[in-house]
Structure 1
Amino acid sequence: MTQKIKMYGAEWCPDCRRTKGFFTQNNIEFEYINLDITPDASKLVEEYNNGKRIIPTVVIHETAHSNPQNHELAAILGINKQGTVKLYGADWCPDCRRAKRFLQDNQINFEFIDVENTEGASEYVMKVNNGKRIIPTILINDTPYSNPDNNKLTELLHIDKVTDTRIYDVLIVGGGASGLTTAIYAQRDRFDSIILEKKNIGGNAFITKKIENYPGFKEVSGPDLMDRMEQQAATLGAKIETGVEIVSIERVGNFFKVYTKSEEYRAKSIVISTGSTYRTLGIPGEAELIGSGIHYCATCDGAFYRDKEVIVIGGGNSALEEGMFLAGFCKKVTIIHRGEKFSADEIYTEKLTSFENIEVHLNKKPKEFIADSDGNFDKLIYSDNETEKEGELTADGVFTFIGLIPNTKPFEGFLNLSNSGHILTKNLNQTSVEGIFAAGDCRFGAIAQVAAATGEGVVASYGLKEYLKK
């Protein structure tokens, strides 16, 4: 996708010559509009600059920049010594936030292209990803990479990582509500803490469009609430790193070594708050169509289906909540559930009746996803639980919400887990290994609610405080 750059200037202007030279040196295509020979150009410049005639005025993706210096242009256009970096994404995308944060933390200039508000951007993303809507898509010297993790970006951009040799009082694995709360309480107790998050700060709460049961708020958006928690933890002194995936933990004397895919960290105590991920159906066609019409997060991917028809699979609180969220901008939402009635709370089932563009199919079991000739989702085959007859639902996309799986695989064999994979704990959220605590959705017996998760973090902080005082 060619970026739209216009430069308004004049031949006698020294800064215009500098700017033109910068574009030429970096092989950047631009349209040059000479104010001295182009009618109405001066008037446009004045409109861009609130009545002032400032040149050069550079317009990039419809945004005007008044006499930008070369380093400012490099930052806007993503120009670095390693090459040019462009990030196609959206503000609501968790992995986009993770990638943006990584690039910013490592002083990498990048051009951010909003796929929702930039003409042709969404189509370009699908083109380079063989029809799949994958964001972030990051271009490094015009070579596209689909949602690269931080380790891959480190490799591609030749970033030198400095080993962290500090021994932290507490290392928190996971930056959701429980992990952030733990850090807030730990820092208030003067314990040096670090949060290592695999993806984005905020966890599943961040991708929740609207939270209506968090004390003190009639309603609050998940991103807003998680941003506030992150800011509070950081202000108190907690170190926060995203895109860091834990591989294993080892006790070495009186502290622990935490191994990631790229480096290791050391800490006197650990709190595991890795949360959970969405469960899949495991039916034919699902794995092949993920990203090509099948999704598990309405907040992340719902915007791709504005004014289109979608299917929501599930009957719990999440399924109905996300279904109603999608109904706010989709042409039609069809909810299909294998049970005879929804398992969601009554408040959700009551709200559901107010949506004219939501259709419900109960007692139906999904059997297979079918693709169209382009390899994108086309229809869902289901069977009726009473008659065993098959039927089909055609739509533009599918969103599945059938439960959660705890993110505890790296701790198998090291910590005691339940049959469901949740971490078993005792008093003050202490795990089977002294000095390691668990909090949030990954802990056995926890309630998957944001308010409950913050309480889990408080309990874990008291446990680690008692342990560290020994």
Structure 2
Amino acid sequence: MNTIDLYGADWCPDCQRAKAYLKEHNIDFNFIDVDLDKEATAKVEAINKGKRIIPTVIINDKPFTNPDNATLANLLGINKQGVIKLYGADWCPDCQRAKAYLQNNEINFQYIEVDKNKWAADLVEQTNNGKRIIPTVFINETSYTNPDNSILKTVLDIGKEAEQTVFDTVIVGAGAAGLTASIYIQRDRFNSLILEKKNIGGNAFLTEKIENYPGFTNISGPDLMTKMSEQAKTYGAKIETGVAVNKIHKKGNEFVLETNMGEYVSKSVVLALGSTYRLLGIPNEADLIGGGVHFCATCDGAFYRDREIIVIGGGNSALEEGIFLSGFCKKVSIVNRSKTFSASETYIDKLPSIKNIETYMNKESVAFIKDENGNFKGLEIKDNETGEVEALHADGSFIFIGLIPNTQNVKDFIDLDARGFIKTTALGETSVKGVFAAGDCREGAIAQVAAATGEGVLASYGVRNYFK
């Protein structure tokens, strides 16, 4: 049978995104939780050369590492017309003809070879009254035996111009700023669409505990972001995940957003692009990302239960996540390049009472250390006063040294400052009229969830004024 195995974990945002996409299109799959199954963890590491990368999806024995929605659509034949599967063989001329026609018209289809899968051959024979006729094409649950191109054109409406929705506002990014902007824009009776490349909630979704959001003394990032997204949907907002905006340009009075899933058209745009974790830029860092070097304690911390880890950084994120990791890791070593922490006193005051946290102050991270097999072994650090170099051995590390705005794809469209943040007016309007920015990607932004929601409100007021 057509088998799809999704190896992941419930806390993993990309796993949630992939699962939601498959369920949305009624694709049957087996979910294997790597946190509960050691053999599954070993299999994922073997597939990904020692790295625990999830989701890892196996489709008919072929593995795919963290496929985005566009890749899943291509692999599994997901289209607006339905799910398309083509059963055939490489030697079959009509199969080649059908494949070429679908490909030339940008129709996704799952190609299943009957010569290599007995279950596929049996299905084809069962469908065709005992005859092995190929190609046999399934569109949803309806089969077509060796359909010619005219039949495919008719049943798939190929060549028929689809009516394109023009939104009042397209919001790029489903973090706190984008979701809040959508709530207010929808309440103003404008129709909005949120496009999110990865997971709903952005970086806040990856935070294990939030203690400084008004109204909640303690709430998890996923819970808070889920509440925001549900509220936005309640007012009519539409959210599409797995959609990466590659370019934006203006056409007349409208904006065209070019994405990996096609084009979207809008009368205004809110850029809530968020930010990405900053790298150290030291030897062996790139090679070990995902295999000993991590940036999200909520996502990857569970892999290091009862093991020793290193946390690099001295701000709120470093101490907050270090304290969280100390709850289940054997030892946490915090490396800070300064003599003092820049984090708030709330976090600093907690450190002395936590016995399995050790701090290394005024130490520069020099290089990550690999063992003889190329796996993570530790971190080489240098004392900034004495110049003395030492090696910290551990099972993994987490880097928390700041963020970089995700503005690379709009740098030729709007004005950015020297660091890559978007320049805006008081209501978040950018150098292009009708385009607004909110959240971590904006110049002068404060990287806090509460601040991001406020900026989402300001951007929504900018949109309202623009339409006036």
1-structure distance, mates of 2:163, 2:374: 45
Verify: 1:132 aligned to 2:51, yes or no: yes
Out of 46, 57, 67, the residue aligned to residue 148 of structure 1 is 67
Deviating 4+ runs (over 6 angstroms): none
2-structure distance, mates of 1:275, 1:169: 22
The Cα shift of 1:119 comes to: 4.5
1-structure distance, mates of 2:332, 2:78: 45
1:203 corresponding residue in structure 2:
202
1-structure distance, mates of 2:459, 2:323: 35
- Secondary structure at 1:86's aligned position in 2? strand
- Secondary structure at 1:405's aligned position in 2? strand
2:366 corresponding residue in structure 1:
367
2-structure distance, mates of 1:354, 1:98: 38
2:185 corresponding residue in structure 1:
186
- Secondary structure at 1:292's aligned position in 2? coil
5 Å-filtered alignment, 1:11-410, equals 26=1, 83-161=2-80, 165-410=164-409
1:454 corresponding residue in structure 2:
453
**Residues 300-330 of structure 1, C-alpha deviation per residue, up to 9 Å, x if partnerless?**
1110000000000000000000101110110
1-structure distance, mates of 2:465, 2:237: 19
Range with greater deviation from structure 2 (294-303 or 101-110): 101-110
Q: Is the 8 A contact 1:425 1:438 kept in 2?
A: yes
The Cα shift of 1:299 comes to: 0.7
2-structure distance, mates of 1:168, 1:397: 45
2-structure distance, mates of 1:460, 1:189: 13
2-structure distance, mates of 1:164, 1:274: 28
The Cα shift of 1:129 comes to: 1.4
2-structure distance, mates of 1:118, 1:183: 39
The one-letter code of the counterpart of 2:168 is D
The Cα shift of 1:452 comes to: 0.5
Q: Aligned residues, how many?
A: 388
1-structure distance, mates of 2:32, 2:263: 34
CA RMSD of aligned residues (A): 1.1
The one-letter code of the counterpart of 1:141 is N
Normalised TM-score (structure 2): 0.81
2-structure distance, mates of 1:251, 1:183: 21
* Structure 2 residue ranges without an equivalent (≥5): 82-161
**Residues 120-178 of structure 1, C-alpha deviation per residue, up to 9 Å, x if partnerless?**
22122112212111011111112111111112111111222477710001000000000
1-structure distance, mates of 2:401, 2:163: 39
The one-letter code of the counterpart of 1:348 is Y
**Residues 357-388 of structure 1, C-alpha deviation per residue, up to 9 Å, x if partnerless?**
00000011011111112321002111110111
The one-letter code of the counterpart of 2:58 is L
1-structure distance, mates of 2:353, 2:164: 57
**Residues 167-191 of structure 1, C-alpha deviation per residue, up to 9 Å, x if partnerless?**
0010000000000001111111111
The Cα shift of 1:262 comes to: 3.0
The Cα shift of 1:244 comes to: 0.6
- Secondary structure at 1:335's aligned position in 2? strand
The one-letter code of the counterpart of 1:319 is A
**Residues 166-221 of structure 1, C-alpha deviation per residue, up to 9 Å, x if partnerless?**
00010000000000001111111111000000100000000000000000011100
2-structure distance, mates of 1:426, 1:222: 29
Q: Is the 8 A contact 1:292 1:375 kept in 2?
A: no
Normalised TM-score (structure 1): 0.81
* Structure 1 residue ranges without an equivalent (≥5): 1-25, 27-82
The one-letter code of the counterpart of 1:378 is K
**Residues 410-469 of structure 1, C-alpha deviation per residue, up to 9 Å, x if partnerless?**
111210101010000013111000000000000001110000000000000011011122
1-structure distance, mates of 2:466, 2:3: 49
Distance 1:122 1:164, change over 3 A: farther
1-structure distance, mates of 2:163, 2:268: 16
Verify: 1:421 aligned to 2:340, yes or no: no
The one-letter code of the counterpart of 2:235 is L
The Cα shift of 1:106 comes to: 2.2
